[in-house]
Structure 1
Amino acid sequence: MPSRLSRISYTESVVELNRQIHSVSKQATSLYQQAASYFAGVDKYKTLVSELETRLEQKQRQLLTVSAIDKARLIESISVIQQRLDNIKSEFESKRLLRLDSAISVCSKILEMTESHNFEGTQLKSAKFLGTILLLSPGRGKKLSELHQRFKPAYKAVLSIRLLDKLIKDGNLRHSYTLKHYDVNTRYEKQSSFSSPYSQSVVLPIMLTALFQDIGFQHPDVIAIMKGDGSLDEFRPLQPEERNLMLKLGYKYAIDYLQNGLGLQEYTGNSKLEKERFTVLEKSRVKFQLELLKDALSSKIGIGDIIKIPQVYTSVVLSTKRNFIKKDLPKAAKIISQLALNSSVNLKAAEAFISIVGHFPQGYGVTLIPKNLQGVELNNYEYGIVTRLNPSNPDEPICKIVTRNLTYITSGATTSIKKDCNLHFNVARNKLSKVDAARLRNIMQTLSYSFKADDVDNLIPSLWEPYEYFSDVKNQSLWKK
């Protein structure tokens, strides 16, 4: 039976997946809405449980002193209270398991969309997923911050697993829990499920932690800081004291959600021995999740960098700042390098991550100087889109060329763009500085989907915006070999 992904376009499936993670639907079924519901009701639940347990204790003590006639009524009252308490706990537990099952299901879908049966196929599928997300961002607009906020969790989760794979592949991970479960021969088997010990004990908790790293921001206490009474822009620059409190509370509630809002999976078999083993493994998984989240904050042992580095990178690529500037995206990887120089993240982890993503994010629109068949550079520029991970040089992104002779094409080559031909860099821009302005203006008008008069102030563009180009379904096959 074909998967659901085969019945709808890949782009639509990416949109739907992100909607399942973070949306504002009336049904409140997204992972982040489920978390918001948990935070909104957990204190009331704890208070009610505490009150009922106190009443039970009081009535059970009364049994020692009442008459036989009153004892019967008292026992009946205790039974009613106990039944109500059991029902409340059972309902709460059912909702917890539903939240956990929903989260695991989303993680499974992410793996299905980003992993193949081998390393090379996985890199290509991951590049496609990450690139599609950035290509779904118009780069501007009143709701851009909200859109980026919804895209962040899945984007971080994929980058975290790719960083994990890279560190293990290069022998640069020394975390005993992770290596204990790793099996190179089964790493990419059944990539859409969590049946192997490694995927269940390592891949799943890393993905869950990346997905819910910022889930504490759904708590009413944090929302009050960000939105006030609802009149404040949650994406505004915060005052230092506001930001510090927001981060402190967000971290506290994220820990609570991973530990209690999601917690342990439920054993469904009949073997007591297997149940005990399953529970031990689940407790280890949750412990690992909390270790990841805590170390991402403190960087004491380095394992937290697996989610910290993607988080920092994603905060730039999918920035929620109202003054988002797309041409700043190549700075994201350089920020990671700076963090490593300051010992804020592990140097090996930073180098591994940059070797994966390069300096130009997947889906980024590159403007380049083309060459003729003799290898001579031409006095114009063409468009490309970054479509591959693991460039041999971080400054030389692997791109799908989407124009030729100033005409959009779908059969362009996938090639590495040298630094001296990439108009992001001055060395390339200077080559076109002597070209007649009228010719440059004509090139811009010919290639632009939405040419504006003020665009002529930047006749040698350092990048282009491929959002409208990618919105056309026929242009969404960028990753075909």
Structure 2
Amino acid sequence: MRNQASINTADSVFIRELKRVLNSLTTPASALSLVSIAADFFRATHSTVTPPAAMAELAFVAEKILLLTEGQTEAETLNRSARLLGTLQLTVPDSPRRWREVQFGYKTLYRATLSLRLLQHMLQQQLLNDPWIQQHYAQRDAKDPDCPYRLNVQLPMVMAVLLLDVGMLHPKALTVLAGSNGNLNPHRPLQADERQQLLQLSAKARQHFFSQALAVIRFRSNDKQQQQQDMAQQQQRLDFTERLLAATEDPASAVGSLLKVPQVYSSIVLPGRQRFAYEALPKATLVLKDAVKRGELNAQFVGHLLKITGVFPQGFGVVFIPAQNDLSVAEKYELAVVNQLYPAKAEEPLCRIVSRNLQYRRGGHNSCISVAHNLYFRPARDRLAIMPQQRLQDILASLSADFEPGQLRRFIPRCWHPEQFFSQSEHQNLWNNAPQRQN
């Protein structure tokens, strides 16, 4: 196991790289951020955005995202993806004034990560019968950054996710969303006619951006045949990206569901809606299943996404009763953070334990939290209900610096908010190697 100093350094490097990618997506002050490129394109009567420049930046950011999510083994890939999803959940801003940052940065990265994992999962289960994808999946090599699967499937898919909401930056779409003077809350629930208008404007603007602002990049070579071959391959990747985007409008489409299902999931578990409620995040599974019933999402893809994520999103704060307590000892609870994908049971999250004896700790172990011990569920809450109120208040106060008794019913929290805990660098090592124990 690495020593604590090396772990802190590695995680700091990850956080810095994540911030750089977010800035590449959303910083208005940077002319090369995707938000700036798209906004300038839509504002200009005669666009000054050149297709090679836009294409180069899009591919550059997509490659950076792959570096964050993909490892050389499946275990490393799942760990990187869980870390990225969890870090996004733990650091996402919730201010309405930062909605562009959330929409085009945090949510985009979240969607891209889940789309990649859903793609890999469906291929492993032999449930995706797309000739283009299968052809290149057969040639995959996780250790080769230039393998056909990475270049021709994963990279175009991430590019498609980056472009999914680009049409929302069109002035007309922004007017519907935020008002002509930016005086409306973009997080407000839209009326049915507003939502329909926004979707139509956004889709039309996205297609216009795709067709006019993107193009293959000429390969510099004295070998004309090699140059033509490279440009043909680029065009094929661009065509696949376009096919993915078009397919998101069809709930029955397999390739479209690779983008659409993660898009809906991310809209629930990250801030960006006025009705966002942290305690309700585990109910994202119910929202997805309702969308299936309405014919809006593909049932098979929703089911398999939930096998990857489980009920509790990455980075979610779980409160649990330690299993070692017996009835002869006063009950207490401890804190954990969801830090792994693919729980054996959807309702039993894989977590890092971050407190012991009511004190925050570093270097805790991993644990699968059972329903019987997870305070999100009634059986565990009923076990603590018999405890004196003062004892419950003392426990809660010792674990929360900003504790206010009136905020929590009967002093038994269903979950906790780990953002402040995670903001301290010594608490960010939630994904390093640690022993696994059952709870």
- Output the TM-score relative to the length of structure 1: 0.83
Instruction: Return the alpha-carbon distance in structure 2 between the equivalents of residues 375 and 102 of structure 1.
Output: 60
Residue in 2 that maps onto 1:33: 36
Instruction: Return the alpha-carbon distance in structure 2 between the equivalents of residues 179 and 27 of structure 1.
Output: 38
1:276 aligned counterpart, secondary structure? helix
1:221-257 deviations in whole A, cap 9, x for unaligned? 2112222321222222222111101111101111222
Out of 329, 351, 365, the position equivalent to 2:281 is 329
Out of 304, 322, 328, the position equivalent to 1:370 is 322
Out of 168, 175, 182, the position equivalent to 2:137 is 182
Aligned CA distance change for structure 1 residues 298 and 376 (closer, same or farther; 3 Å):
farther
Residues 441, 456 of structure 1: 8 Å contact kept: no
Task: Tell me whether 226-235 or 363-372 shows the greater mean CA deviation.
Answer: 226-235
Out of 352, 364, 367, the position equivalent to 1:412 is 364
Task: Tell me whether 101-110 or 272-281 shows the greater mean CA deviation.
Answer: 272-281
Task: Tell me whether 418-427 or 447-456 shows the greater mean CA deviation.
Answer: 447-456
Residues 216, 234 of structure 2: 8 Å contact kept: yes
Residue in 2 that maps onto 1:308: 260
1:324-379 deviations in whole A, cap 9, x for unaligned? 21111112233223333444333332222111111111100001111227799861
Aligned CA distance change for structure 1 residues 252 and 105 (closer, same or farther; 3 Å):
same
1:303 aligned counterpart, secondary structure? helix
Instruction: Give unpaired runs (5+ residues) of structure 1.
Output: 46-90
Instruction: Return the alpha-carbon distance in structure 1 between the equivalents of residues 176 and 40 of structure 2.
Output: 18
Instruction: Return the alpha-carbon distance in structure 2 between the equivalents of residues 344 and 445 of structure 1.
Output: 44
Residues 261, 302 of structure 2: 8 Å contact kept: yes
**Letter matched to residue 109 of structure 1:** K
Instruction: Return the alpha-carbon distance in structure 2 between the equivalents of residues 473 and 292 of structure 1.
Output: 38
Aligned CA distance change for structure 1 residues 196 and 233 (closer, same or farther; 3 Å):
same
How far the C-alpha of 1:428 sits from its partner, in A, is: 1.6
Instruction: Give unpaired runs (5+ residues) of structure 2.
Output: 1-8, 434-439
Out of 21, 31, 36, the position equivalent to 1:17 is 21
1:34-81 deviations in whole A, cap 9, x for unaligned? 11111112x434xxxxxxxxxxxxxxxxxxxxxxxxxxxxxxxxxxxx
Out of 210, 214, 218, the position equivalent to 2:165 is 214
**Letter matched to residue 27 of structure 2:** S
Out of 258, 261, 264, the position equivalent to 2:210 is 258
Out of 62, 72, 82, the position equivalent to 1:117 is 72
Asked if 1:271 corresponds to 2:223, the answer is yes
Residues 325, 331 of structure 2: 8 Å contact kept: no
Q: How many residues align?
A: 423
1:451-472 deviations in whole A, cap 9, x for unaligned? 1242354511110000110011
Asked if 1:96 corresponds to 2:100, the answer is no
Instruction: Return the alpha-carbon distance in structure 1 between the equivalents of residues 229 and 140 of structure 2.
Output: 24
Out of 116, 121, 127, the position equivalent to 1:166 is 121
Instruction: Return the alpha-carbon distance in structure 2 between the equivalents of residues 305 and 378 of structure 1.
Output: 49
Residue in 1 that maps onto 2:102: 148
Residues 258, 286 of structure 1: 8 Å contact kept: no
How far the C-alpha of 1:6 sits from its partner, in A, is: 5.9
Residue in 2 that maps onto 1:285: 237
Instruction: Return the alpha-carbon distance in structure 2 between the equivalents of residues 456 and 389 of structure 1.
Output: 29
Residues 146, 320 of structure 1: 8 Å contact kept: no
Residues 317, 335 of structure 2: 8 Å contact kept: yes
Residue in 1 that maps onto 2:152: 201
How far the C-alpha of 1:432 sits from its partner, in A, is: 1.2
Runs of 4+ aligned residues of structure 1 deviating over 6 Å after TM superposition are: 373-377
Aligned CA distance change for structure 1 residues 260 and 199 (closer, same or farther; 3 Å):
farther
How far the C-alpha of 1:265 sits from its partner, in A, is: 3.1
Aligned CA distance change for structure 1 residues 227 and 279 (closer, same or farther; 3 Å):
same
Aligned CA distance change for structure 1 residues 343 and 324 (closer, same or farther; 3 Å):
closer
**Larger Rg, first or second structure (1 or 2):** 1
Aligned CA distance change for structure 1 residues 31 and 142 (closer, same or farther; 3 Å):
closer
Residue in 2 that maps onto 1:130: 85
